[in-house]
A and B are shown apart, each in its own frame.
Chain A
Amino acid sequence: MKWLSDDKLDHLRTIAGNPDFSATKYTFVKELGHGGMGTVYLAQDRELDRLVALKVLNTPEITEDLRNRMVREAQIIARLEHPGIVPVHDVGVLPDGRVFYAMKYVRGSRLDEYAAQNSSLRDRLRKFQAVCDAVAFAHAHGVIHRDLKPQNIMIGSFGEVLVLDWGVAKILENPSTDCTDFTDQSAKSVKSVDAFYTGAGTVIGTRDYMSPEQARGEISQLDERADVYSLGAVLHFLLKDQSRPGKAAAAICSKARASAKEDRYSTVSDLSADIGRLLDAEPVSAYQENVVEKVSRWVSKNRFLVLLVLAYLLMRIFFIFTSRR
C-alpha cells in the first residue's frame, strides 16, 4: 500500500469532499470560492452546454416541506428579469442532501476588486446607483436580497453592474405587480416566507453588511430597509478610501446605515434618488446645507458659468481701468 503524505491526504479530502453532481445535469469544473453560507463552483450544464455558477449551501438538513417551499421561491426569484440581476436558473438537492442553486456565470470583477483599481468617486457612485436600481426592482416584486455586499456585486467587462447571489433572499407578502411579467397568482400568494428555510433567530447574511435587526435574527421583521442598511454599508465601503467624499455623501451613508430602520431611507429608490442628486450636485434629502455650502455647491455645479462671468468681470475691470488712463 502506498504511503499517503499529508499533502496527498488533503488532496484526497478535497476531491472526496467536492459535491457529487452525478444526479444532476451539471459537471464539476472547479471551485470558484467559498464563504459562510456555502461554496460556489464552476460547473458545466451538460444539457445547455454552458458554464454556470453553482452555489452549494452549507445546510445539512431540510425537510420535504422546506424543499418544496425552496423550489417555489426559487421560481419567484428566477423571474426577476432585470439587466442588473443575475438570476437563479435552477435549484435542487444533491444526493448528499445539500441544496444547490445554479446561477449565470458572470465574468468580471467583484465590486471590492473594482474599487481597488482606483476608480473615481463619481464612477463608484454611478455603479452604486446601478446596484440600487437593481435592488429596487427586486423590492418592487417583493424580494429582499439580505446579503448585499461588495463580494456579491460584479462589474462586467463592459462596466455593467450585476447583483449576484439571491440564494438567501426573502419573499415579502403583497409584492407590487406593476411589472407585467410578474403577475401570476402563485407569486402573489407567497406569504412572507424565507427563500431558504430560515426561522426566527436564524442569522442570515454577512456580519459587516447586515442590519441590526438581521443580526439579531429577527427574520420576520425584515423588510426592504434591511437591504437599505446593507447598501449603506456598501456605500461606506466605497467611500472609506476617498480623501474628500463630502458631507452630503457621508450623510447619505449615515442615513442608510441608521440603527433604527425607521431612521433609514424608507425605500432603495429614495436612496438611489439621493445618490442621483449628489451626482448632479443637487441638494440631497439626507443633509441640510448652510448658506456657504449651498453657494459652494452652486459654484461647483456651475463652474463654467462662474468662470465665464468672472472672466467677463475681469475684462470689464481691465477696460475701465485702462480707459481712465
Chain B
Amino acid sequence: MDPDTDIGGPLHCFPVTNHSAIVGARSDDQTTRRRAFDTILTSYWKPAYKYIRLKWQAGNEDAKDLTQGFFANAFEKNHFAAYDATKASFQTFLRTCLDGFVTNERKAGRRLKRGGDMDHYQLDFVTAENELRAHAAATDLTPEDYFHREWVRWMFTLAVEALRRRCEDSGRSMHFQLFERYDLSDDANVSYASLAEEFGLEPAAVNNYLAAVRRDFRRVVLDKLREITATDEEFRTEARSLLGVNVK
C-alpha cells in the first residue's frame, strides 16, 4: 500500500487528536497554544468576518475590528480551551462565541482598537470585502448556513493553496496545473484531450495525473479538517458534512 495515499495510515485510523489545534488550544505550553491559535485563526477569520458583516450588519471597518477583537480576546482568555466536543461541533462553538462577543461589544458600545496582539497577522480583509461585494449571499440562506458555506469555501480555498505548495515542493507542478485547468477553471471547453494536447501528454496520462492530484487534494482537505476538530467522532462528522463520505 502506498503510504502517501494510504489515508488513515496502516491502521486506517486518523490520529486526530495528535494534530488537533483544538486540543493544542488547551495546552499549558505557550508555544503550542500559539500554534494552535494560529491554525484556528487561519481557518476561521474569513468566514467570521463575512458572518459579522452579514448577520450583524456591521460596516467594513467595524467588522474588521470585531473579527480581530474576537480572536485576540479568545486567545488572551483562552476561550477555545473551553470547547466540549460532546456538545457541538467546534464550528458551532466558535460561531456561538462570536455571536456572544459581538452582542457584548454592541451592548457595551465600545469602539474596539485594532492592533495589539493581532498586528502581525496578515488578514486580507480587502479581498474578503471584495468577495462579499462581488458575490452576494443567497437570500434563502440563514446566517448560520451562510457561515457554514463560507467556511467550506474557505477550507477548500486553503486546501487548494496547500495542494499547490505540496505539488511545487515535490516537483509535480504539472499535476497542479492540470488540476487547476480542469477542476478549478470555469472554461467549459477543457477536456482531457485538450489538456493532453496543451501539455504534450497522452490522454491516459492526463487521467492518471488528475487521479493522483485529486487523491492528494482529498488528503489535504482531510488533513486540514483533522487540524480543526477535537475528536475522531467530530472529525468523521465534519468529513461527512464536508465531503459526504464516511472516514474511519
User: B7 near A15 (CB under 8 angstroms)?
Assistant: no
User: B161 near A1 (CB under 8 angstroms)?
Assistant: yes
Residues in A with CB closer than 8 Å to B215 are 20, 22
Residues in A with CB closer than 8 Å to B160 are 1-2, 4, 12
Stretch at the interface among A90-98, A161-169, A237-245: A90-98
Give A6 to B136 CA distance when docked, in angstroms.
12
Is A36 part of the binding interface, using a Cβ–Cβ cutoff of 8 Å?
Answer: no
Residues in A with CB closer than 8 Å to B5 are 20, 22-23, 95
User: A22 near B2 (CB under 8 angstroms)?
Assistant: yes
Give A22 to B247 CA distance when docked, in angstroms.
15
Residues in B with CB closer than 8 Å to A12 are 156, 160, 183, 217
Q: Output the least CB separation between B31 and chain A (Å).
A: 28
Is B57 part of the binding interface, using a Cβ–Cβ cutoff of 8 Å?
Answer: no
Give A5 to B134 CA distance when docked, in angstroms.
11
- Which listed residue (B6, B134, B156) contacts A95, Cβ 8 A? B6
A16-34 CB contacts (< 8 Å) to partner B: 16-20, 22-23, 27-28
Residues in A with CB closer than 8 Å to B2 are 22-23
Per-residue interface assignment for chain A, residues 35 to 70, with 1 indicating a CB less than 8 Å from any chain B CB and 0 otherwise: 000000000000000000000001111000000000
Query: Size of chain B's interface in residues, with CB distance under 8 A?
Result: 36
Is B127 part of the binding interface, using a Cβ–Cβ cutoff of 8 Å?
Answer: yes
Is A8 part of the binding interface, using a Cβ–Cβ cutoff of 8 Å?
Answer: yes
Residues in A with CB closer than 8 Å to B217 are 12, 15-16
User: B135 near A3 (CB under 8 angstroms)?
Assistant: yes
User: A20 near B242 (CB under 8 angstroms)?
Assistant: no
B1-34 CB contacts (< 8 Å) to partner A: 1-2, 5-8, 12
Give A246 to B5 CA distance when docked, in angstroms.
59
Give A95 to B1 CA distance when docked, in angstroms.
9
Residues in B with CB closer than 8 Å to A20 are 5, 7, 215, 218
User: B214 near A9 (CB under 8 angstroms)?
Assistant: no
Give A23 to B215 CA distance when docked, in angstroms.
11
Give the residue among A8, A28, A93 with the most B Cβ atoms within 10 A.
A8
Give A93 to B246 CA distance when docked, in angstroms.
13
Per-residue interface assignment for chain A, residues 76 to 107, with 1 indicating a CB less than 8 Å from any chain B CB and 0 otherwise: 00000000000000000101111000000000
User: A1 near B218 (CB under 8 angstroms)?
Assistant: no
Is A11 part of the binding interface, using a Cβ–Cβ cutoff of 8 Å?
Answer: yes
Residues in A with CB closer than 8 Å to B153 are 4, 9
Q: A23-B6, A27-B211 are in contact. Are A97 and B12 (CB under 8 A)?
A: yes
Give A16 to B131 CA distance when docked, in angstroms.
24
Is A325 part of the binding interface, using a Cβ–Cβ cutoff of 8 Å?
Answer: no
Q: Chain B: which residue is nearest A19 at the CB level?
A: B245
User: A95 near B12 (CB under 8 angstroms)?
Assistant: yes
B125-163 CB contacts (< 8 Å) to partner A: 127, 131, 134-135, 149, 152-153, 156-157, 160-161
Q: A12-B156, A13-B243 are in contact. Are A61 and B248 (CB under 8 A)?
A: yes
Residues in A with CB closer than 8 Å to B184 are 2, 4, 8
Give A298 to B107 CA distance when docked, in angstroms.
92
Give A6 to B247 CA distance when docked, in angstroms.
24
Is B244 part of the binding interface, using a Cβ–Cβ cutoff of 8 Å?
Answer: yes
Residues in A with CB closer than 8 Å to B244 are 13, 17
Is B236 part of the binding interface, using a Cβ–Cβ cutoff of 8 Å?
Answer: yes
Q: Output the least CB separation between B183 and chain A (Å).
A: 6
B149-206 CB contacts (< 8 Å) to partner A: 149, 152-153, 156-157, 160-161, 183-184, 186
User: B236 near A9 (CB under 8 angstroms)?
Assistant: no
Is B98 part of the binding interface, using a Cβ–Cβ cutoff of 8 Å?
Answer: no
Which 6 A-B pairs have CB atoms at the shortest separation, nearest pair first? A97-B248, A60-B246, A22-B5, A17-B243, A16-B218, A95-B7
Binding site for A on B (CB under 8 A): 1-2, 5-8, 12, 127, 131, 134-135, 149, 152-153, 156-157, 160-161, 183-184, 186, 207, 211, 214-215, 217-218, 221, 236, 242-248
Q: A95-B7, A96-B246 are in contact. List 9 more A-B contacts (CB 8 A).
A: A1-B127, A1-B160, A9-B152, A12-B156, A15-B214, A20-B215, A20-B218, A96-B245, A97-B12
24 contacts between A and B (CB under 8 A): A2-B157, A3-B131, A4-B153, A4-B160, A6-B149, A8-B184, A9-B156, A13-B156, A13-B242, A13-B244, A15-B218, A16-B218, A20-B215, A22-B2, A22-B5, A23-B5, A27-B207, A27-B211, A60-B236, A95-B1, A95-B6, A96-B7, A96-B246, A97-B248
